[in-house]
C-alpha cells in the first residue's frame, strides 16, 4: 500500500455531529409576520423570549406585524427638497423681489464706485 492512511479523507475532530454529541436544541417558537406586499416572514425565537410586535420584511424592507388581515402601512417618505424649495417656503414672491431689488441696487452702487466685482 503506497502512501496509505488509516483515516483517509478525514481530519482531526471530524465525525458525525448529531444531537447526541452537541446536546438537544433549545425549544423554538416560529412566528409569522406579514407586510403590506403580502410577504410572510417566519423568524425563529427562543420559546421563552419576548416576541416583538413588528418585524422588518427581509424581501422588501417594509414593516410587518402578526396580523395577516391588517399589515402595517408603508412608511411615508418625503421627496427630496432643494435649497430653492426651502427658500420658497419661507418667502413670498413679493418678498423675494424686494430682496433681489435691494441686492441689485447695492451691487450697482459698488460697481459705480469703482469696485470690480465678478
The pLDDT tens digits for 74-93 are 999 888 999 988 988 998 98
- Is residue 53 in some structural domain? yes
- Is residue 76 in some structural domain? no
- Is residue 20 in some structural domain? no
Total tally of structural domains belonging to the chain: 2
- Verify that 32 and 58 share a domain, yes or no: yes
Return the half-sphere exposure (C-beta side, CA atoms, 13 A cut-off) of residue 68. Answer: 6
- Does the annotation list 70 as a binding residue? no
- Is residue 71 in some structural domain? no
3-state secondary structure of 96: helix
- Does the annotation list 34 as a binding residue? no
Q: Residue 12 has what pLDDT?
A: 64
d(CA 26, CA 39): 27
3-state secondary structure of 73: coil
Q: Of all residues in the chain, what percent carry a pLDDT higher than 90?
A: 55
- Is residue 7 in some structural domain? no
Q: Phi/psi at 108 (nearest 5 deg)?
A: -65, -35
Domain residues for 54? 26-63
Residue written as cell 454529541?
A: 21
- Verify that 85 and 56 share a domain, yes or no: no
- Is residue 34 in some structural domain? yes
Q: For 7-37, what is each residue's pLDDT tens digit?
A: 565 666 666 655 566 677 889 999 999 999 9
Q: Residue 69 has what pLDDT?
A: 93
89 contacts: CB under 8 Å, gap ≥ 6: none
- Does the annotation list 60 as a binding residue? yes
- Buried b / exposed e along 51-78 (16+ C-beta atoms within 10 A): eeeebebeeeebbbbeeeeebbeeeeee
- Verify that 58 and 86 share a domain, yes or no: no
- Is residue 51 in some structural domain? yes
CATH of the domain at 37: 2.20.28
- Does the annotation list 35 as a binding residue? yes
Compute the CA torsion angle 15, 16, 17, 21 (nearest 10 deg): -90
Amino acid at each position: 500500500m503506497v502512501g496509505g492512511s488509516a483515516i483517509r479523507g478525514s481530519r482531526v475532530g471530524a465525525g458525525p455531529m448529531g444531537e447526541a454529541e452537541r446536546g438537544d436544541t433549545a425549544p423554538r417558537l416560529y412566528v409569522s409576520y406579514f407586510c403590506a406586499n403580502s410577504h410572510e416572514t417566519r423568524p425563529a425565537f427562543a420559546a421563552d423570549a419576548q416576541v416583538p410586535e413588528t418585524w422588518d420584511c427581509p424581501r422588501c424592507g417594509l414593516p410587518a406585524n402578526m396580523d395577516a388581515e391588517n399589515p402595517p402601512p408603508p412608511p411615508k417618505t418625503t421627496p427630496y427638497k432643494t435649497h430653492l424649495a426651502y427658500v420658497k417656503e419661507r418667502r413670498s414672491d413679493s418678498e423675494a423681489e424686494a430682496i433681489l431689488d435691494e441686492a441689485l441696487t447695492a451691487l450697482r452702487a459698488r460697481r459705480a464706485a469703482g469696485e470690480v466685482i465678478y
